[in-house]
Amino acid sequence: MKKHLLLLTVALSCGLFSYAQVSFGVKAGFNAASMSVKQGSPSVTADTKMVPAFHAGLIADIALSENFSLQPGLFYSAKGTKLDVPGPTVGQEKVTATTHLNYLELPVNFLYKHELGPGKIFAGFGPYLAYGISGKIKVSSQYFVNREYDVKFENKQQSPDSASVAYVKPFDAGANFIAGYEFKMGLVFSVNYSLGLTNTSPYDNETEKNHYLGISVGYLLHKRK
């Protein structure tokens, strides 16, 4: 009985992958990264600015039908923001804090594709999950000594004996929206918007959510002609 079940499982798996037409590839590009930041009680939305960043990694394209596919990926993705904090009095110099965060990110996009010219135009959406691996926060001003903080991805607040360390929650999750064009020979161009939905700050009275606009180029191997 176990032998029959094993043979049936193998047969179904082979049939699924035969139908699915899985292709693998690489992808890399530019991130215009920033954050939505709210601080204080009652909360005040901070004025954040974009920082240039990048992403690079692997993708798989699983054709579910002629027009639909599932496209998971695994990326090294850099995020962050620049935040200007005004001085406490009028005319006092502001302080600039620049945050760089590096994640391993797993997006899973559901795509609709349509034949157009020498390839297919596509659009889709899906969730993503990311795990923080490294980061820096640089604080600069004209009249004070510049400071640099190492980011530790732990869900705890800064203690007095770790003044050079800032903490960020290790997990980030949200939604991803993507559109682009795929040539028959495998070259892919795309734009995507990543919207963080989880608060990555462990500090009281503070909310931080990642977001970025990405522009990518990729190549899918073993494309079916």
Q: What CATH number is attached to the domain comprising 84?
A: 2.40.160
Give residue-wise pLDDT tens across range 194-215.
999 999 999 888 899 999 999 9
Q: Is residue 10 part of a domain?
A: no
Number of domains composing the chain = 1
Residue 165, pLDDT score: 87
Domain-located, residue 8: no
Q: Would residue 201 count as lying in a domain? A: yes
Does residue 209 form part of some domain?
yes
Query: Which value, to the nearest 10 degrees, does the dihedral of the CA atoms of residues 199, 202, 206, 209 take?
Result: -20
Look at residue 9 and tell me if it is in a domain. Answer: no
Residue 161 falls within a domain, yes or no? yes
For 33-87, the pLDDT digits (tens) are: 999 998 876 667 888 999 999 999 999 999 999 899 999 999 999 999 998 876 5
Query: Could you give the CA distance from residue 77 to residue 65 in angstroms, rounded to a whole number?
Result: 30
Give me the domain span that covers residue 199.
21-221
Instruction: Give pLDDT, residue 156.
Output: 83
- Look up residue 10 and give its two tokens: 């193998």
With respect to residue 1, please indicate whether it lies within any of the assigned structural domains.
no
φ and ψ at residue 33, rounded to 5 degrees: -100, 150
What mean pLDDT do residues 131-138 have? 95
Q: Is the pTM of this model over 0.85?
A: no
Q: Give whole-number Cα distances, 68 to 121, 125, 224, in Å.
A: 12, 12, 15
Position 194 in a domain: yes
